[in-house]
């Protein structure tokens, strides 16, 4: 049976993966900004179902996940 353990990433690899993640995170941030801007203030409390989140709750979720992701990249 072959050894399936993966070796640790080299220190030289970290800057490359960090830059790649930052690039994609920046692109995602632009999309998130467009989504947030598209929510009219008058419809911020809209929810398609009584058990669903409101538009602003969903916007907050998207934003907080972007922040969580960026913090993870910073820890690389």
Can you give the pTM of this predicted structure? Answer: 0.58
What is the 8-class DSSP label of residue 43? G
Angle, helices 55-74 vs 13-37, to 10°: value is: 160
Note the pLDDT tens digit of each residue in 29-53: 888 889 889 999 999 999 999 999 9
**CA 76 from centre of chain:** 16
Residue-wise DSSP of 13-39 = HHHHHHHHHHHHHHHHHHHHHHHHHTS
Note the pLDDT tens digit of each residue in 7-33: 666 778 878 888 888 888 888 888 888
**Alpha carbon distance 67, 12 (integer Å):** 26
Give the domain ranges of the chain.
Answer: 25-74
């Amino acid at each position: 049976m072959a050894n399936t353990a993966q070796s640790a990433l080299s220190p030289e690899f970290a800057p490359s993966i960090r830059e790649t993640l930052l690039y994609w995170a920046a692109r995602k941030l632009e999309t998130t900004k467009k989504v947030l801007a598209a929510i009219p203030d008058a419809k911020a409390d809209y929810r398609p179902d009584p058990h669903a989140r409101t538009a602003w709750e969903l916007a907050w979720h998207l934003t907080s996940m972007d922040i969580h992701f960026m913090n993870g990249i910073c820890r690389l």
